[in-house]
Amino acid sequence: AIRLYLLIFVCAVTRISSNPLVDIVVDRYHIPRVCPREVQTEDFVRYHFNGTFYENGKQFDSSHDRGKAFISQVGLGRLISGMDRGLLGMCVSERRRITVPPHLAYGSIGAGGVIPPDSVLVYDVHLLDIWNPEDKVQIRTLSKPAGCSRGASASDFVRYHYNGSLLTDEAFDSSNETYDTYLGQGDLIKGLEEGLLGTCVGERRVIIVPPFLAYGEQGYGAGIPPQATLVFEVLMVDLFNPKDDLTVEVMEVPQGCTRRTVVGDYVRYHYNGTFQDGTLFDSSYQRNGTYNTYIGMGHVIQGMDKALQGLCMGEKRRIGIPPHLAYGEKGVGGLIPGSAVLIFHIHVIDFHNPKDSVQIRITHKPRDCNATSEADDLIKYRYNCSLMDGTLLYSSDHYDSPSVTTLGANKVIVGLEDGLRGMCVGERREVVVPPHWAHGENGAGDVPRSAVLLFELELVELQKGVPEGYMFVWLGDGPDPLFDAMDMNGDKEVPLEEFSEFIHRQVQEDKGRLRPGMEASSIIKDMFDNQDRNKDGKIVEEELMVKEVEDQVARDEL
């Protein structure tokens, strides 16, 4: 439409008879600060007015009294000529006083019994709305997240907040909770549905909907009058499509990953759970404990069960799970709304399989390796015990000397025992111990429940041992006859001093071995007392022969 500009007279008219009006007079006594649009020819307008006679100020009509705004099209003769011209260029929320001379109003005829002939009319107008049949939905983006990779499309399910108002800023509705609906199924007015297309999660936009794409001539309830342009300020909270699968973004993968999670593994991981707008709903970090579960057995939501497969220890991922793979339309109490997309940032601490064995990797082995550790040996070793994420739990460096243990005596966890066997002095190893060979589901001390442990080991000292129940063993065949070898001075009796000298000589010549980890003198005294049957302080040949027979009988019974 061609825009018409008004010639506004600012002169005051005092007496019609002496100074007749030749054109309308417009007094714009309230103009809004922002005027994005002015009335043009062929526009539709909705406005309130009070109509009075110029001569005496008496009211002849009022839309306020009727309780309903006046609606008409401008510039096509549907209004008196003076109003057709007086409304041009007007802004929504503007108030103006339009004085109309008779020849641009009802002339010399008047209007029925209400408006006398040759009456000058004054209209006090408050413009409420403007639209045109050619109008389209207007969209103005207020803010948009960086890196938006997906906007709402037809058939998507969306969750959004909104404030709804008229063009005059009069609010008619506001969402206390998100409004949840599918797009493209006719559940929304056409203009709002069109305005929501392409919106990203976290985006704010203003959507202006002309009446014919809103509630039209009928309006809606008490808040939306007929032929009202609607303004929606929208914040998109969530969106998904029923065909969506989970999304996986790998954030960090440790170097040297040789094993990934599979169905049946038991995994310990940390996570932060948020909605798509970033609102946190749960966090294992806040509880200061990992979430532990078996994979692929239905112990967690379907999407997480799937997302936990194929992960390395130490890997970090961002997981997006649509509601049909999470908590669905019902959500979870007051924690997770219905139809919510869930975002999980996960960090895998460790995982294992119940069938896992102890893993041993030799990091250093001396060239000379003549003896290796085995059951009953007494060993000294250094160690660091860590979780698989590198968290140090215990270390022999925290003490004054290396740790000491006898292999096979059940003094350390089974997995560590396995890792310490077969080592040379000076050898270093890395040993990975699954929880069923460590502290199990309950943990111990600073060891979390179901934790895989990493031991860094170094064997410092090795003393070869003797079988359980023995104090001394021969390394080969013993002397025959034994008593003659013990009776080094040939006097047919062996006191404690002579017996002790004999045993020490066998150990020095690598013919025999005492139990390690105990005082040699104490062991030798116990051995002597065991042979001295009559407790007279010396061993004779008959006592030794009786003892040998008893030992043989005991072995035969076993």
Q: What tens digit of pLDDT does each residue of 261-301 get?
A: 999 999 999 999 999 989 999 999 999 999 999 999 999 99
Catalytic residues: 162, 172-173, 189, 215, 232
Any idea which of 116-125, 194-203, 248-257, 544-553 has the lowest mean pLDDT?
544-553
Q: Are 380 and 406 in contact (CB under 8 A)?
A: no
The torsion angle over the Cα atoms of residues 224, 228, 234 and 236, rounded to 10 degrees, is: 90
pLDDT confidence tier of residue 552, bands split at 50, 70 and 90: low
Q: What tens digit of pLDDT does each residue of 120-176 get?
A: 999 999 999 999 999 999 999 999 999 888 999 999 999 999 999 999 999 999 998
pLDDT confidence tier of residue 8, bands split at 50, 70 and 90: very low
For residue 92, CA distances in Å to 32, 87, 272, 372 come to 8, 11, 48, 94
Q: In which residue are the tokens 């929304």 written?
A: 188
pLDDT value for 40: 97
Cα 123 from Cα 100, distance rounded (Å): 8
pLDDT confidence tier of residue 18, bands split at 50, 70 and 90: very low
The torsion angle over the Cα atoms of residues 465, 470, 474 and 475, rounded to 10 degrees, is: -20
Q: Are 318 and 300 in contact (CB under 8 A)?
A: no
- Higher-confidence residue of 269 and 499: namely 269
pLDDT over threshold 60, residue 115: yes
Token pair listed for 417: 């025992």
Angle formed by the axes of helices 520-531 and 541-557, nearest 10°: 100
Token pair listed for 507: 């150990």
Q: What tens digit of pLDDT does each residue of 516-545 get?
A: 877 888 888 888 888 888 999 999 988 877
Q: Which one, of 243, 269, 47, lies nearest residue 157 by Cα?
A: 243
pLDDT value for 469: 74
Q: Which one, of 332, 338, 342, 178, lies nearest residue 244 by Cα?
A: 342
Rounded to two decimals, the pTM is 0.72
Q: What tens digit of pLDDT does each residue of 198-253 get?
A: 999 999 999 999 999 999 999 999 999 999 999 999 999 999 999 999 999 999 99
Mean pLDDT over residues 544-556, rounded? Answer: 60
Q: What tens digit of pLDDT does each residue of 369-407 get?
A: 989 999 888 999 999 999 999 999 999 999 999 999 989
Token pair listed for 415: 């997995």
pLDDT confidence tier of residue 19, bands split at 50, 70 and 90: very low
pLDDT value for 541: 85
pLDDT confidence tier of residue 445, bands split at 50, 70 and 90: very high
Cα 294 from Cα 355, distance rounded (Å): 13
Token pair listed for 209: 């909907």
